[in-house]
Amino acid sequence: MAEVIYIDMDGVLCNFKKSLEEHLLNDPKVLFPQRTPGFFKNLEAMEGALASMQSLRNNANYDPYILTAPYLFNTCSFSEKAEWVKTHLGEWWLERLILCGDKSLLRGNILIDDHYSGRGQEGFQGHLMLFCKIRYPDWKSIMEKLK
């Protein structure tokens, strides 16, 4: 039976931090650029993320889903995250997009996330792989572990 794997968006599939820093440099008066419409749909993909997602899609050992928390101070984030998925990964992934503020509510084997807590990651019953940390600094290291 295939293992259910959840992949976070911001900081894992999308380079949230880079976009945030660029917005703050370009317009320091806007303290929370993630609150502005267009922010989430225009995020850059993390290096290796798109190819890795296609590999996971084609790997019979995994049943992959995208699991992301919506940003409640910008309700556009709900639709913009879906637009990003459709644009960068394709329609197949839209059926596998889950927006949920508490990731501990879902059952699965693996959660790839860039945070240990804050959105229920600490209560997730499967294995948490912390992305962009010492053990899994990039998509290459994640994919090597999942082989």
21-35 per-position pLDDT tens digit: 998 999 989 889 999
CA distance 47 to 30: 27
Q: Which domain holds residue 40?
A: 3-146
DSSP E strand stretches across 8-147: 62-68, 97-99, 110-113, 127-130
- Express each pLDDT in 62-95 by its tens digit: 999 999 999 999 999 999 999 999 999 999 999 9
CA angle 42, 115, 127 (to 5 degrees): 115
- Whole-number pLDDT of residue 74: 92
Residues 6+ apart with CB under 8 A from 52: 139, 142, 143
Are 121 and 135 a contacting pair, CB within 8 Å? no
pLDDT for 104-132, tens place per residue? 999 999 999 999 888 999 999 999 999 98
114 with 11: CB under 8 angstroms?
A: yes
pLDDT over threshold 90, residue 59:
yes
The structure's pTM equals 0.94
Mean confidence (pLDDT) of the chain: 95
Give the mean model confidence (pLDDT) for residues 2-10. 98
- Closest by alpha carbon to 105, among 130, 69, 72? 69
- Sign of the dihedral defined by the CA atoms of residues 23, 29, 31, 36, in that order: negative
If DSSP codes are grouped into helix, strand and coil, which group holds residue 30? Answer: coil
Number of domains in the chain: 1
Sign of CA dihedral 71, 76, 81, 82: positive
Of residues 23 and 47, which shows the higher confidence score? 47
Per-residue pLDDT band for 133 (boundaries 50, 70, 90) equals confident
If we measure between CA atoms, which residue out of 138, 18, 14 comes closest to residue 77? 14
CATH number at residue 111: 3.40.50.1000
DSSP 63: E
